[in-house]
Amino acid sequence: MSVLAADTPELDLAGHSFVVRGPSPLEGTVEVSGAKNSVLKLMAATLLAEGTYRIANVPRITDVGLMAELLRAIGCKVTLPGQDVGPKQDSGPKQDVGPNQDIGAVLIIEVPAEIEPVAPRGIVDQFRASIEVLGPMLARCGEAVVALPGGDDFGPRPIDMHLQGLAKLGVEAGTVDGYVHARARELRGGAIRLDFPSVGATENLLMAAVRAKGTTVIDNAAREPEVADLCEFLSKMGAQVSGSGSGTLTINGVDHVEALQPVDHSVVGDRIVAATYLAALGIATGEIVVTGVDLDHMAVLCGKLGNMGMEISAEGESIRARVSNRLSSAKFSTLPYPGVATDLKPLLVALLATADGVGSVTENLFAERFRYVDDLRLMGADIRIDSHHVVVEGKERLMAAKVKAPDIRAGAALVIAGLGAQGETTVSDAHHIARGYDDLAGKLNSLGADVSRS
């Protein structure tokens, strides 16, 4: 159990299930918290410089607790959202952290003058994003020892691109007994071209390059909004980063560590969670408003949903969506941003299971991300796997069943499938869902669903 789960009982879902009673049309407004795929990298980036950081719009998820444990092991003091931080100290004028400034969602990280550049296996093997401390520890200390990461099991996701890129910056690295041992006498800028626009590799290289001597250019860099959020965070700290949001990032390394300063920042909204609520609406029908997310970050997906029959419009930092009738089916392909994210695949398969006609989802990133299909079949879904394609013939109504969440997104997909099923669906291993969703059950219930914990 992570520290955050211990301090927040609703996150302690080990051994628990979600019970979904359907069918349940949805209506109302739901707020999306900060992105899991951003906040964990921002937390890692604080290792670059001593001082106190305040990160707002932090999702209450167990992976944040795991990253907090890791930072504590490295030597930091971390105060999780909602914890008592004691009397407020006058530390001078604070920066605007953006529109989401709910004090209950603020994370405080105090980074000491000296850190221990070791990420131990006991923590690291629980979540994938732990590898992101490698780059900042190398930048800060010139060395790092990081256990190979764990997290959701979708098949092999090697860190070769991380290590190959770091080698271009002068890093010597190897793996021994499940640990990456990396060292650099001096980080130096270099030209790096990624074979694939890997988000994790882009972020690790970006953070290392901030302290490299000279200029680093990363070509075929990931363009995700979460990468852009990290670029903004680093720029606030004093890093010289250009090209944010494009496929080419240019980083001019700062001359000394004092050039980097702690900052306040608000995490970008979670487009994957927002898409989860839209998929839920597509299954359940109704009308909802999703706040705290930029429609531009979801343009391709929302265009496809619109073609299926969902009425979607932007209202500032909100998305209004309406589904009156059963959606038409469609074909999706997972691609790097701005394409449809691979995280969405289980959710889209669940959506297609109730759509009218035959649709498909083609997985172009993680070949083995199909482990939820048998559970959807238990609910009556008509699904066929053909290589890296999932072909789905939609049914007007699914059946309630007892199913098991294999990972974060697949677990959420089974929950929203239950909204379109007749009867009581039980989704066991709910702790997986809490790793990436801030109170999924409670927020669905606020929209009129009937989801309880058992």
Q: What is the pLDDT of residues 382-407, one digit of tens each?
A: 999 988 899 999 999 999 999 999 99
Q: What is the pLDDT of residue 367?
A: 64
Q: What is the pLDDT of residue 96?
A: 44
Residue 398 lies in a domain: yes
User: Are 10 and 114 in the same domain?
Assistant: no
The answer to whether the CB of 263 falls within 8 A of the CB of 53 is yes
- Report angle CA 125, 131, 136 to the nearest 5 degrees: 140
User: Are 135 and 147 in the same domain?
Assistant: yes
User: Are 243 and 391 in the same domain?
Assistant: no
152 in catalytic set: yes
Residue 120 lies in a domain: yes
Q: What is the pLDDT of residue 99?
A: 38
User: Are 12 and 161 in the same domain?
Assistant: no
Give strand pairing partners of 333.
362
Residue 153 has pLDDT above 80, yes or no: no
Q: How confident is the model at residue 258 (pLDDT cuts 50, 70, 90)?
A: confident
Q: Which of 266, 284, 318 is the last residue of a domain?
A: 266
User: Are 226 and 78 in the same domain?
Assistant: yes
User: Which residue is catalytic, options 152, 264, 343, 438?
Assistant: 152
Q: What are phi and psi of 51, to 5 degrees?
A: 135, -175
Rg (CA), the chain: 22
Residue 88 lies in a domain: no
Distance of CA 368 to the CA centre of its chain: 19
User: Are 220 and 309 in the same domain?
Assistant: no
pLDDT in tens, 69-120: 999 999 999 999 876 544 333 333 344 444 343 434 899 999 999 999 999 9
Cα distance between residue 207 and residue 139, in whole Å: 7
Residue 272 has pLDDT above 70, yes or no: yes
Residue 89 lies in a domain: no
Q: What are phi and psi of 172, to 5 degrees?
A: -100, 125
Residue 305 lies in a domain: yes
pLDDT in tens, 335-368: 999 999 999 999 999 999 999 999 999 988 776 6
Q: Which of 266, 286, 314 is the last residue of a domain?
A: 266
Region at 360 (left for phi over 0; alpha for psi -120 to 50; beta for the rest):
beta
The end-to-end CA distance of the chain, in Å, is 18
Q: Which of 212, 235, 266 is the last residue of a domain?
A: 266
Residue 214 lies in a domain: yes
Fill in the DSSP letter of residue 340.
Answer: B
The predicted model scores a pTM of: 0.92
Instruction: Look at residues 334, 321, 332, 254 and name the one whose alpha carbon lies nearest to residue 293.
Output: 321
Q: What is the pLDDT of residue 129?
A: 84
Q: Looking at per-residue confidence, does 434 or 368 come out higher? A: 434
User: Are 350 and 381 in the same domain?
Assistant: yes
Q: How many domains does the chain have?
A: 2
The answer to whether the CB of 157 falls within 8 A of the CB of 366 is yes
Helix or strand (DSSP H, E) at 135: helix 134-141
User: Are 212 and 105 in the same domain?
Assistant: yes
Question: Domain limits at 319?
Answer: 3-32+270-453
Residue 409 lies in a domain: yes
- What is the b/e burial string over 212-230, where b = at least 16 CB atoms within 10 angstroms of the residue's CB? beeebbbebbbbbbbbbbb
User: Are 324 and 286 in the same domain?
Assistant: yes
User: Residue 367: which CATH number?
Assistant: 3.65.10.10
User: Are 349 and 224 in the same domain?
Assistant: no
Tokens 């701005």, residue located:
338
User: Are 141 and 199 in the same domain?
Assistant: yes
User: Are 329 and 225 in the same domain?
Assistant: no
